[in-house]
């Protein structure tokens, strides 16, 4: 397969710069659309802990692809809170917004393969479809059949990539063997209606070009993994990264923590006089790594993963 310009083999230049035989890279990749909360702390515990126990390194990536929702002040606060917690990255921070060329190159490559199409389905189209069929769209393409309609590319339309059919499987370091349909939520959007490159595109392009070998993230993203593995293949990544999907911290009603839950914000916990060790210890217990909270430093979280391969 022909190599795209601006997009290189797993790792590319960034990898060549940092390459040390036998030392894998994982990443911690918050979006600066809010402050860090206990859910991010849990993700950091898994990222730094699994990296420490396996000799891997952690790249800090600020996922600021959404220009409307990202704020420099949030990015600064994330760096400050992370330093306060004691989690020190081995590379970065790298900001998605500073180098858009790789996303453009990736889309050009997909376009060259005839896989990109404009989609005018709106939330209300999707809602109407879901109401008529009793379930959300789960299949190839999009509910409006936009690929067949061959709409002209208009900046106000979503761009999607045709993922093709079938399943992708992976050996999850935490969940075990997993597989799933690549179009469980239709074809992936790669550019939104506001003109932003999407999370799905940026995460796959960045994990490829930055040489990320191990993706550690919350289990709510496991369903999106087959589509992301497939998109990586379409971009020339023959060997997908390894994945580890970890438990999420839930509110007492079972819902996922969000930025709106101020009582679990690292800022608030700091202001209330909690120590970094206590905050880490609370997150460790919340995700079930230990039965009870136990204060520990960021440097100690690797102990929670000893004996775990890779
Ligand atoms: Zn559509």
Q: Could you tell me the distance, in angstroms and rounded to a whole number, from the CA of residue 121 to the centre of ligand 1?
A: 4
How far does residue 208's CA lie from ligand 1's centre (Å)? 27
Ligand 1 mean position, distance from CA 139 (Å): 12
Cα 27 to ligand 1 centre (Å) = 33
Look at residue 154 and tell me whether its pLDDT is greater than 80. yes
- Per-residue pLDDT band at 262 (split at 50, 70, 90): low
d(CA 48, ligand 1 centre) in Å: 40
Contacting residues for 72 by C-beta, under 8 A, at least 6 apart = 32
Which residues have beta carbons under 5 A from ligand 1 (an ion)?
A: 119, 121, 142, 144, 146
Classify the phi-psi angles of 48: left when phi > 0, otherwise alpha if psi is within -120 to 50, otherwise beta.
alpha
In terms of pTM, does the model score above 0.75? yes
Name the residue with higher pLDDT: 184 or 277: 277
Whole-number pLDDT of residue 5: 35
The alpha carbon of 213 and the centre of ligand 1 are apart by a number of angstroms equal to 33
Q: What is the mean pLDDT of the chain?
A: 89
Is residue 260 very low, low, confident or very high in pLDDT (cuts 50, 70, 90)?
low
The residue among 51 and 125 whose pLDDT is bigger is 51
In DSSP terms, 246 is beta-bridged to 218
- As beta bridge partners, residue 242 has 214
The band of 15, judged by pLDDT with boundaries at 50, 70 and 90, is: very low
For range 263-275, the mean pLDDT: 92
75 alpha carbon – ligand 1 mean position (Å): 33
CA of 64 to the centre of ligand 1 (A): 26
How far is ligand 1, taken at its centre, from the CA of residue 39, in Å?
33
- Looking at residue 70, what is its pLDDT? 95
201-255 pLDDT, tens digit each: 999 999 999 999 999 999 999 999 999 999 999 999 989 999 999 999 987 676 7
Q: Chain centroid to CA 203: how far?
A: 6
Using an 8 Å Cβ cutoff, are 1 and 237 in contact? no
- Examine the pLDDT at 24 and tell me if it is beyond 80: yes
Residue 224 CA to ligand 1 center (angstroms) comes to 19
CA atoms of 279 and 264, how far apart (whole Å): 9
Q: How far is the CA of 180 from the centre of ligand 1 (A)?
A: 22
Q: What's the 109 CA to ligand 1 centre distance in angstroms?
A: 21
Q: Is the per-residue pLDDT at 110 higher than 60?
A: yes
What is the CA(238)–ligand 1 centre distance, in A?
29
Q: How far is the CA of 135 from the centre of ligand 1 (A)?
A: 17
Angstrom distance (rounded) from CA 42 to CA 30 = 12
Q: For residue 158, give the H/E element and its range.
A: strand 158-161
User: Does residue 106 carry a pLDDT above 70?
Assistant: yes
Q: How far is the CA of 240 from the centre of ligand 1 (A)?
A: 28
Could you read off the pLDDT of 164-187 as tens digits, one per residue?
999 999 999 999 999 999 988 899
Query: Distance between CA 158 and CA 162 in Å, rounded?
Result: 13
Q: How far is the CA of 67 from the centre of ligand 1 (A)?
A: 23
What pLDDT, on the 0 to 100 scale, is given for residue 123?
A: 85
- Give the span between the Cα atoms of 131 and 30, in whole angstroms: 34
pLDDT at res. 259: 58
pLDDT > 70 fraction of the chain, expressed in percent and rounded: 89
In the reported structure, the alpha carbon of residue 235 is separated from the centroid of ligand 1 by a whole-number distance in angstroms of 22
Four-point Cα dihedral 36, 84, 57, 231, nearest 10: 10
The CA 117 to ligand 1 mean position distance, Å, reads 9
């Amino acid at each position: 397969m022909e190599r795209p310009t601006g997009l290189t083999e797993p790792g590319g230049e960034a990898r060549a710069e940092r390459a040390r035989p036998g030392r894998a890279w994982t990443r911690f990749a918050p979006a600066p659309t809010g402050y860090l909360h206990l859910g991010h702390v849990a993700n950091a515990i898994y990222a730094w802990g699994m990296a420490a126990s396996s000799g891997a390194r952690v790249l800090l990536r600020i996922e600021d692809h959404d220009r409307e929702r990202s704020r420099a002040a949030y990015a600064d606060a994330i760096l400050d809170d992370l330093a306060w917690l004691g989690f020190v990255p081995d590379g970065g921070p790298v900001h998605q917004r500073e180098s858009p060329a790789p996303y453009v190159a990736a889309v050009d490559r997909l376009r060259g393969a005839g896989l990109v199409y404009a989609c005018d389905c709106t939330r209300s189209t999707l809602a109407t479809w879901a109401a008529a069929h009793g379930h959300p769209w789960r299949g190839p393409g999009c509910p409006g059949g936009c690929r067949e309609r061959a709409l002209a590319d208009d900046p106000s339309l979503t761009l999607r990539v045709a993922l093709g059919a079938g399943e992708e499987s992976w050996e999850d370091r935490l969940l075990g063997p997993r597989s799933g349909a690549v179009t469980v939520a239709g074809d992936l959007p790669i550019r939104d209606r506001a003109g932003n490159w999407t999370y799905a595109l940026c995460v796959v392009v960045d994990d490829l070009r930055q040489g990320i070998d191990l993706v550690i993230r919350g289990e709510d993203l496991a369903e999106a993994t087959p589509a992301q593995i497939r998109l990586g293949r379409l971009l020339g990544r023959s060997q997908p990264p390894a994945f580890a999907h970890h438990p999420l911290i839930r509110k007492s009603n079972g819902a996922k923590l969000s930025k709106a839950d101020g009582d679990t914000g690292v800022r608030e916990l700091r202001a209330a006089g909690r120590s970094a060790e206590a905050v880490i210890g609370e997150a460790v217990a919340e995700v079930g790594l230990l039965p009870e909270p136990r204060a520990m430093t960021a440097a100690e979280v690797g102990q929670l993963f000893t004996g775990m391969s890779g």
